[in-house]
Chains A and B, each alone.
Chain A
């Protein structure tokens, strides 16, 4: 008996939730109309110059509006709508040119215009599909209450030829319960037709991913070659010399103890150098402190080992996947190495946090500024490292400073080890 009660209660709650969500969809759709007007006005202002600043701003708000629909489609109906937008190139330029580039980035993206088209199209779709569940609920409940009233009143005023109409009204309640979620799903599907990436955009994205994957594979192959060479010329050669010295000492120890002593001392020095080389190499592959303490501890250890004071604000409630952790660590290490080498800064800061599924690292310094991503330079290395994980890096470094490097890596955190 309780089971039936529970099921009815759950269904009732679900139905109410569906109705509320439908109303939210409809209200949001109507609220989008002023956005449409503002965006069109700002685009019309483009020739006047003011639009260069206003148009991207208002269109990005439209983009947020579209993002909201995408999130609801996923959360409420399980329909995934990918974000189709192009990424903003991060080459540093002066302020004016940056505004123009931003404008071109937003206006040149076909997805922007599909977002905008969706705003008016969404109004009839949302009003019909969104308000229907609530309408069915109210009308159905009303009919039910009315009929109960009729029964209680002793079947007076019964008009038989309205029987079909009565059945229709009474069927509204079950219709609301069963069809409500499907109506929301239908809305999500309609949204997907305009808000999802087109086939062409998907192809471009696949191309981009293929490229970054090859870059990553290339970079790791080059890295392996470097490690092989370092081992071959360094530690391995030293171990050979070590074995030779000890063997020789063994032979001469009775006849010429002095020579044996010299050889053994050389062997010890050689083992020390081999160890030191191996340590440097290991740090370059995967720093031990990263394995032991994760990104949080490794960045703290790194900051302590550098010859200038670094303010740290690290808030990571868990650990990212190992490859992401490693990429982020080396990117931060590279950025800090640049600070030490080029900036002449007396102070630097690192901010590291996880926000909305992205790992965000900001590395800044009070040095001379004017940092440029040169071919083969540190900044480009960071970009390549992060590209492999769909991450991005942005640099602001006006002449005279301060310099700030912002990195973002999409990732989830696992629970912190305790």
Chain B
């Protein structure tokens, strides 16, 4: 992309991520195939291999998958400003939508029907989160350390109700000291 006007490239990136942010409902994972189609197949900004690398790294770092992918992709194509504007583009649509919802939230949530709708969705979320958990369990390669860590964190969370931030930190430290990786 070096031959093109950098401002033009940044504007292109901005519009791609803006589009992706509007049309992908349901968290970062839903965005991945859409972004891949645009970046790799249509615009040829990235090779298949580069995209896979970006995805695998974005997944293992903290934060929203969307922000991580936007930062990485944006930087690779157009440097720091590319990363920044990709992130801004991916933030504006959800920020606007949620702010609008928050403005009218107080009025609408008083309706019994809206409450029932929300409760129905929540029931669906509980079902899906259970499904996601089960799938992750199946994928985890358990060894003695991981079984111990699972039981230990379970105890801290469900019995002692420790702040989950500390459980993550304790788990991370134990992993670094005693774990074996995957």
Chains A and B form a bound pair: no
